[in-house]
Amino acid sequence: ILVTGNKHFAIHYDLTGFNAVDNKDANNNEIPDYIDSVAYYAELAYQKEVIELGFPFSEMDSMSSGTPMYDIFIKELKNTPYYGAMQPESSSFPNNSNFRSSFMVLENDYSETPKFRTTGIDGLKITIFHEFHHAIQYYMTDNNARVLAEMTSTFMEYRFFPEILDYLQWVKNWFEFPMDMSL
């Protein structure tokens, strides 16, 4: 587990096995470079979306993973249709209906496959900003307005990385089929 510098996130990852990340460590800090990148972009998403844009968010979580910070799990997602996911932990805590916790799951490499239109670190960056915005949305409300949630999370990709055009694959479908929840 790596706790990010500002202690907003706990990144859970494997060095061996199916979910393992590349062990390359160019700066010799004993943390794989990929995990350094996850930490950097997670904290950047927090800075941009919470501090600069002012979205309310608490990184506290249910402690089910043993850490008091927001959890990010790095997994091999090649057998799924997802770049990543925000997963609710609970709909609310007792005596505090305004507090909802979740965790994020991210791909372990965003390697070149037909699945990912955007690969490598660019795939990681946009996915962190997208899924972190879902975490913010869930923290604010457990309302299930999926199309709006996807559109605003996709906008975060564009807002902070306009040069990465991954969002174009989704936008066309949302405008053609706005009520289709499977997109």
Q: Tens-of-pLDDT digits for all 183 residues of the chain?
A: 999 999 999 999 999 999 999 999 999 999 999 999 999 999 999 999 999 999 988 776 766 677 888 999 999 998 888 899 998 876 555 555 666 788 999 999 998 677 788 999 999 999 999 999 999 988 877 666 777 888 899 999 999 999 999 888 777 776 777 666 554
Angle at 46 between CA 148 and CA 66, to 5 degrees: 100
What is the pLDDT at residue 183? 46
What is the strand order of the sheet 84-88 is part of?
2-3, 9-12, 70-75, 102-107, 84-88
Burial (CB < 10 A; 0-12, 13-18, 19+), residue 87, is middle
What is the pLDDT at residue 9? 95
The rounded distance, in Å, linking the Cα atoms of 9 and 2 is 8
What is the pLDDT at residue 94? 54
